Amino acid sequence: MNVKFTHYVIAAATLLFSSNVFAAAPIKIGALFAVTGPAAFLGEPERNSAKMVIDEINKAGGVKGRKLELIVYDTAGDATKAVQLATKLIKDDKVVAIIGPSTTGETMAVIPVAEKEQIPLISCSAGSKITDPIKKWVFKTAQNDALAVGRIYEYLQKTKQTSVSILTVSDGFGASGREQLKVQAAKYGITVVSDDTYGPKDTDMTAQLTKIRGTHSQAIICWGTNPGPAVIAKNARQLGIKTPLFMSHGVSSKKFIELAGEAAEGIKLPSGKVVVADLLANSDQQKKPLMAFVKDYQKHYKAEGDHFGGHAWDAVMLIRHAVENGADTATGIRDQLEKIKGFAGIGGSFNYSAQDHAGLAKDAFVLVEIKNKDWVIVK
């Protein structure tokens, strides 16, 4: 009797266990990040953050009892490679969703693959053309450049400054910013009086700034990622330019303050809320996730969590949200993503809909000023 009972227990346990294994097959999520190469400053924190969150979710028992499995490939910032790896993720690894790629160029190249294979793609790059026009399977977590431009122009309008000079870097990021700066100007009653560019590896921008000084504009807006803007800040100081200098969200990291040193003082820029997480009002919905992200990242990688990592964090959390709502297939996740409303993440408050796959509004950015080597929120 006793022995028989034990047998039953074992049989039952085995059955339970095996069925559990079956049900708990992990949900496979693919990720394409530019971990090496010129865009490594994006890809590395993205990979780190994605791994960190997935580990944490799994440690806490997964989502609805199912673990998440992250498969990360390094695209090295190469669009061709990104396409090959996307195909590999879908055909070989059989993932149900893809996070990334890190840059707009790669994302545009991967979009046709995701659309054809019907796998949801949550891009971590900022280009507005990713979700405009809307594509059924493509979402993004990085804030549109348009929102950052809007933030600056709004401030200029409020302070009654109407003429600006723009100085943008001649790469994808700068080109997109330049386009938005020119397109949105009229809406805020602003005229762009001079339009200059510089190369991403340029080491001296005094020529452009001298030209800008001659235009007597009321503000200078520079659009680029490190180290160019730091050179520009130093050059502007050298030339004794007193015109207010605005930067893009591309330099909203401590690194910029470190590079530009004294010359960074007084520069204003739109920034995601990560860098000012501790300065946010407690009523801000994003404060809790932001503080959690910053602390976690510090704990795991001994470095400050940044916006780029935040884009990957958001992407994983959005997928988790979708899985929590009962989705475990590509189609299910896509449909659930589209229904997400008021999800407070790192990049902002996400409200996806059938008409909006970018999900963020202007409040995703705050305007910050650099004072005493630190950030201050401009009211």
Partner 1 sequence: MQFDQILQYTLSGLSTGAIYALIGIGFSIIYNATGIINFAQGEFVMLGGLLTLSCLELLALPLWAAVPCAIAVSTVVGILFERLAIRPLKQPTPINLVIITIGGSILIRGLAMLVWGKDTHAIPAFSGDVPISVGGATILPQHLWILAITLVTICINKIYFYHTISGKAMRACSYNRRAAGLVGIDVRRMVLFSFIISSAMGAVAGIIVAPLTMTAYDVGVMLGLKGFCAAIIGGMSSGLSTVIGGLLLGVLESLGAGLISSGYKDAIAFIILLLILFIRPQGLFGKADSERV
Q: State the DSSP code for 325.
A: T
Q: Does 210 bind partner 1 (CB under 8 A)?
A: yes
Between CA 281 and CA 278 the distance in angstroms is: 8
- Going residue by residue from 33 to 62, which x/- string records binding to partner 1, judged by CB under 8 A? -------xx--x------------------
CB–CB of 100/32 below 8 Å? yes
User: For residue 71, with 0-12 CB atoms within 10 Å meaning exposed, 13-18 middle and 19 or more buried, which class applies?
Assistant: middle
In DSSP terms, which residues pair with 270 in a beta bridge?
Answer: 367
C-alpha 317, offset from chain centre = 13
Nearest CB to partner 1, comparing residues 230 and 360:
230
Nearest CB to partner 1, comparing residues 260 and 323:
260
Q: Does 192 bind partner 1 (CB under 8 A)?
A: no
- Residue 220 has φ and ψ, to the nearest 5°, of -115, 130
Q: Does 198 bind partner 1 (CB under 8 A)?
A: yes
To the nearest 10°, the Cα dihedral for 15, 19, 21, 26? Answer: 180
Shortest gap between Cβ of 197 and partner 1 (angstroms)?
5
Nearest CB to partner 1, comparing residues 158 and 242:
242
Shortest gap between Cβ of 213 and partner 1 (angstroms)?
8
Q: Does 239 bind partner 1 (CB under 8 A)?
A: yes
Task: Please identify which residue in 72, 124, 142, 231 interacts with partner 1, judged by CB under 8 A.
Answer: 231
The residue among 103, 100, 105 whose CA lies nearest residue 123 is 100
The amino acid occupying position 54 is: I
Q: b or e along 92-130 (b: 16 or more beta carbons within 10 Å of the residue's beta carbon)?
A: eeebbbbbbbbbbbbbbbbbebbeebebbbbbbbbbbeb
Q: Does 278 bind partner 1 (CB under 8 A)?
A: no
Scanning 60-68, 77-85, 205-213, 350-358 for contacts with partner 1 by CB under 8 A, the matching segment is 205-213
Task: Please identify which residue in 20, 94, 159, 204 interacts with partner 1, judged by CB under 8 A.
Answer: 204
Scanning 87-95, 137-145, 235-243, 342-350 for contacts with partner 1 by CB under 8 A, the matching segment is 235-243
Nearest CB to partner 1, comparing residues 106 and 338:
106
Q: Does 240 bind partner 1 (CB under 8 A)?
A: yes
Task: Please identify which residue in 84, 162, 215, 226 interacts with partner 1, judged by CB under 8 A.
Answer: 226
Nearest CB to partner 1, comparing residues 92 and 262:
262
The residue among 156, 21, 31 whose CA lies nearest residue 85 is 31
Between CA 360 and CA 351 the distance in angstroms is: 6
**Interface residues with partner 1 (CB under 8 A)?**
40-41, 44, 167, 170, 196-199, 201-204, 206-208, 210-211, 214, 226-227, 230-231, 234, 237-240, 255, 258-262
